Each structure stands twice: as C-alpha cells, then as structure tokens.
Amino acid sequence: STYGSFQGDHRVEVLAMAEQLLLRAVTGTKRGDSELHALCKFELANVLTFQGRCEQAAPLYRESIQSTKDVSTRQLRGQRLVDCLRTLGELDEMQKVLQDLARSTDENIKNKAASDLQQMPRPEKKTKAAAPTAPSSTPEKKTQKYILPRD
C-alpha cells in the first residue's frame, strides 16, 4: 500500500508537507465551496491521524461530516472518526457514531458498524454500594482542537 511505502524520516517529511498543503487548502476554501472545504478538513484529519494526532484530527472529522451533504460520504467519513475515537478511548461517542452507521442502507457500512458495536468493551456492572474512591491522580484527557490560521 502507499501508506506502507512511506516509513521513517521520509514518511515524517511527506506527512509534514501534506499537513502544510492541506492547512493552506482548508484556509483557502473557507469562503468557497462548502463541500470542498469539508473535503480539505477530512484530508487534513487523515494526515493528522497518520501522524498519531487523533486528538487534533477528531474535531476536523466531526466538522467535515457535519458540512457534507452526501449521506454515503458522511458515513465513510464517520468510519474514520470511529477509528480516531477508538484510539482516543472516547467510547461513548464512538458507540453513538457506530449506532448511526449501523442504520445505513449500505450493507458494508451497516455490517462493519454492527460488528464494531459487538466488539466494543462492555461497561463494568456496578455492585450495590461501592465504597467511595479517592480522586485519580491522572490528569483528565482533553481534546485539542487543531488551530487554523485566521485570514
């Protein structure tokens, strides 16, 4: 695959160039065709995901989905959002997106979503009265938004 052929420093360099190009495309399409703008955001989110930056990619995936009119395109983009949410451990949102995808009229998308839903970790069952626990010392994970330059 093309993804597999870019490794090491070359891969880092190519992804950095793609990020800069797509960032310019997102900025340049703000006032134009909304579908093109959504596509640029989606592709930028893909590059960020390949760079291991799902916390910045997820908001771009969401915005791209919201701005896309074609149902099948929204659903395909939703599948990429699911992958990103899985990486981030955002299981509640992931489940909601998968439930929406499971209602698709496209059998492939519907079946993949149903399969992913079945494989999701189940929440632990709560026992009667659990003793209160001390607050976790681990900092809460915050989603970082990708900051687009202003005009």
Q: In this predicted model, what pLDDT tens digit does every residue of 101-120 receive, in sequence order?
A: 999 999 999 999 999 999 99
The mean pLDDT value of the chain amounts to: 85
**DSSP characters for the chain?**
-HHHH--HHHHHHHHHHHHHHHHHHHHHTTTS-HHHHHHHHHHHHHHHHHTT-HHHHHHHHHHHHHT---HHHHHHHHHHHHHHHHHHT-HHHHHHHHHHHTT-SSHHHHHHHHHHHHHSPPPPPP-SSPPP-PPPSSPPP-PPPP-PPP-
**So what's the pLDDT on residue 138?**
45
Q: Is the pLDDT of residue 151 over 50?
A: no
**So what's the pLDDT on residue 70?**
96
The pTM is what? Answer: 0.78
34-82 pLDDT, tens digit each: 999 999 999 999 999 999 999 999 999 999 999 999 999 999 999 999 9
The confidence band for 149, taking pLDDT boundaries of 50, 70 and 90, is: low
**So what's the pLDDT on residue 74?**
97
Q: Is the pLDDT of residue 88 over 70?
A: yes
